[in-house]
Chain A
Amino acid sequence: QKEVEQNSGPLSVPEGAIASLNCTYSDRVSQSFFWYRQYSGKSPELIMSIYSNGDKEDGRFTAQLNKASQYVSLLIRDSQPSDSATYLCARKGNTPLVFGKGTRLSVIA
C-alpha cells in the first residue's frame, strides 16, 4: 500500500491559469504535510508546509489540508512557465518525511 499518492501527470495548464495539484495519504497519524518543487536535475525545494485543516496561503501558492479525507492539495495561481517542474507531496508522522512520486506540471506560454 502506497503511503502518499500523487497523479504523475503531466498536468498542463496555460500561463495565467490556476494549477491544482492533489495528494492523498494513507497514514492517519500523519501530522505535517509539505509541498516541494523539483526542477529537472535539481534538488527539492520547499514551497509550503501545512499542519492544520484548512487553507494556508503564501503568495501565489495555497495549500489545503483535509485530515478527515486524508487529502492535501496545492493551488498555484497565475501560473508562470517558470512554475513548470515536478511537485512533490510529503507527509510526516512518526517517521521521517515520506514522499509521493510527484506530479509534473507544465505551464504553457
Chain B
Amino acid sequence: NAGVMQNPRHLVRRRGQEARLRCSPMKGHSHVYWYRQLPEEGLKFMVYLQKENIIDESGMPKERFSAEFPKEGPSILRIQQVVRGDSAAYFCASSPTTSTSSGNTIYFGEGSWLTVV
C-alpha cells in the first residue's frame, strides 16, 4: 500500500518564478493537508482539502499561494512569484474518509524541499 507521494522532492526556483508541488494521498484517503516547515521551526498548517473542495485555508498566506485537489489527479500547492522567505519544506498529509477515531490520524509524505535563489 503506497504511502503519501509527493513530488518533486527538491525544487529550486529563482525569485519571481512559480513553484508547483504535487501530492497524491494514500489509497483510500480523500482528505489532504498541506503543512510548511521553515528551518528550525515547527509544522505550520496551511490548507485542508477534500476532492474539489477547500475545507479550511486559514493557514494559507493571503497572496501568491493557492491549493487545489481536483476530482482526478493529485493535489497541487502553487506558489506564485516566489521569494526567498518561501524556502522551506512543504509536507503533504492525508487521512481516511471514515469518521472513527483512527480517522483523525494523518500520515505524511516525504516532503518537498523548496529553495528559492
Is there contact, CB below 8 Å, between A97 and B108? no
Of A9-17, A39-47, A74-82, the one contacting chain B is A39-47
Cα-based distance from A40 to B108 in the complex (angstroms)? 15
- Chain A residues 25 to 44 lying within 8 A of chain B, measured CB to CB, are 31-32, 34, 36, 42-44
Query: Is B25 in the interface zone, CB < 8 Å from A?
Result: no
Cα-based distance from A107 to B108 in the complex (angstroms)? 25
Query: Is B91 in the interface zone, CB < 8 Å from A?
Result: yes
Q: How many residues of A contact B (CB 8 A)?
A: 22
The contact of B41 among A45, A51, A101, by CB within 8 Å, is A101
Query: Is B83 in the interface zone, CB < 8 Å from A?
Result: no
Q: How many residues of B contact A (CB 8 A)?
A: 22
Cα-based distance from A34 to B106 in the complex (angstroms)? 10
Chain A residues, Cβ within 8 Å of B85: none
Is there contact, CB below 8 Å, between B45 and A98? yes
> Besides A45-B108, A96-B56, 15 other CB < 8 A contacts?
A42-B111, A43-B111, A44-B91, A46-B105, A49-B104, A90-B43, A92-B104, A95-B45, A95-B56, A95-B58, A96-B45, A96-B48, A96-B106, A99-B42, A101-B42
B interface residue numbers (CB < 8 A to A) = 33, 35, 41-45, 48, 56, 58, 91, 93, 101-102, 104-111
- 10 CB-based A-B contacts, threshold 8 Å: A32-B104, A36-B108, A43-B110, A49-B104, A49-B105, A95-B45, A96-B45, A96-B56, A97-B45, A99-B43
